[in-house]
Every structure is written in structure tokens, then in C-alpha cells.
Amino acid sequence: MIMGECVALVTGGSRGIGRAICLALAGRGVSVAVNYAGNEAAALETVEACRSLGVQAQAFQGDVSQPAECAALVKEVKNTFGRLDILVNNAGITRDGLMLTAKQEDFDATWQTNLRSAFFCMKEASRLMLRQRYGRIINLSSVVGLRGNPGQAAYAASKAGVIGLTKSAAKEFAAKGITVNAVAPGMIDTDMTKRLPDAVRAQMLDTIPMGKPGLAEDVANAVAFFAEPAAAYVTGQVLCIDGGMAI
């Protein structure tokens, strides 16, 4: 499959790592469906940035923590572009707190957005990919899903679940032309990490052998690799983009 003929759906694609992923794919000639939950202005900015690279792009609103909206989103993308070749499950939230004081609603929201959304988007997208006998699914996990982190039990568990989901789906779809892989970012310079207190940021940097945070583009390039035809014989893998944090 030629990248320039592909259509990608990126959940949570309006800003940060999601926006970088959209631009990395657009830069390789892929048409992009930019999913967003609430920030339409940011999504439209991403769409325009993709279009400036010479590809088709459109924004699609949808809360992917809800299974019915996952189904509606995939259907709308198919109706708009005619096909779906690449799914990037990037949508995610974190609601940090120590386990003894964590609220059930925060735990549930984290799982619904980070893990359940990936499952149901994969389920819907794979129906199209199976008919095409071609597909690339890339899930965003986290180094925290491999190492754990104090105060992030729900987030770590959801991201560890993404890894198990990735490996299971990879085995189900391997003989059907669909690859399923995961990218596990470490500390990446985003709006969220830039707001961290200096002491917390310094503590996190101490755990990174390279001694610096990564960029959203570093993650996006890894996602783009898994989406390319050159990665056709790679499936069920987890690639850490973390400056050595998970070593």
C-alpha cells in the first residue's frame, strides 16, 4: 500500500502529541481524520496545518470513551474518505492521585478514555481493515505502563492494559494484513509537562539517561514508522520513546 493512498484516523489529534502525529502522517502524504473531544478550534488548526502539506484533512468530533461514539466516528470517517487504513489511538487523560485518596470516578474516567476507547476504536476500524486486507493500528501507551509511578495507579494500569490489548490484537490480525503496535512515550515536552513544578520536573529528568525530555515529534516519528509499508513485518511490539527511562 502506498502511503499517499492511505487514510488515517488519529484520536485526540487536536494538539500536543496528537497534532504532531497528524502532521507526521500528513508529511508522508496520508489523508488525516483529526478526532477531538471538545476543542474544535485546536482541531481546525491541526486540519489546516495538515492541508498545508498537500493532503486531505478533516476534523471529527467524538468522545471516544463512549463505545457508540467510537462506532459513529469510524463510520463517519469511512463515509468521508471512502476507506480507513491507519488508526492511531492517541486519546488519553490522567487524573493523578495516591491510591488511598483516589476517587472512583477518576479511575473510571481514566480507564474509559485510555483503554476502553482503544478497544472499541480498534474493534470498529478492524472491520474495515479486514475487508481491505490491510491496516496499521498504533496505540499510545506510556513508560509508566511498564514501570509504574507513585500517584498514577489508574493511569499506569490503563497504559499497561494498552500493551496487553496491542499484543492480543496483533496475534488476532497478524495473518490478515493488519499490524498492531504500541509506542510508549516517556517524559515529553508538552503543555502538561511544562506546567510541572521545577522540583518535580528535575526529579523526573534525573531518571532519564539522556538527561532531557523528548519532543512530540519524536513520538510522532515512531508512530509514522509503524504506519509505513516498510514496517509490514513488525507487529505486537512496544517501542519506548523515552531517552532511556525504561532501561
168 band by pLDDT with thresholds 50, 70 and 90: very high
Mean pLDDT of the chain: 94
Kindly report, residue by residue over 3-29, the tens digit of the pLDDT. 879 999 999 999 999 999 999 999 999
Angle, helices 117-132/153-173, rounded to nearest 10 degrees: 20
Between these two residues, 203 and 57, which has the higher pLDDT value? 57
Edge-to-edge strand list for the sheet holding 86-89 = 57-61, 31-36, 7-10, 86-89, 135-140, 178-185, 238-241
Kindly report, residue by residue over 85-99, the tens digit of the pLDDT. 999 999 999 888 899
pLDDT of the residue at 193: 73
Percentage of the residues of the chain whose pLDDT score is greater than 90:
85
Fold of 3-241: Rossmann fold (3.40.50)
Kindly report, residue by residue over 102-112, the tens digit of the pLDDT. 899 999 999 99
Q: What is the dihedral of CA 11, 190, 211, 181, to 10 degrees?
A: 0
From the list 29, 135, 20, 33, the residue with the least C-alpha distance to 86 is 135
Q: Where are the domains of the chain?
A: 3-241
Asked if pLDDT for residue 199 goes beyond 80, the answer is no
Q: Which residues are catalytic?
A: 155
Q: Residue 220: CB partners within 8 Å, gap ≥ 6?
A: 17, 20, 21, 23, 24
- Please give the model's pTM, rounded to 2 decimal places: 0.95
Asked if pLDDT for residue 67 goes beyond 80, the answer is yes
Asked if pLDDT for residue 65 goes beyond 70, the answer is yes
191 band by pLDDT with thresholds 50, 70 and 90: confident
Percentage of the residues of the chain whose pLDDT score is greater than 70:
98
pLDDT of the residue at 196: 67
Kindly report, residue by residue over 139-159, the tens digit of the pLDDT. 999 999 999 988 899 999 999
Q: CA–CA distance from 213 to each of 11, 151, 170, 228 (Å)? A: 23, 20, 30, 26
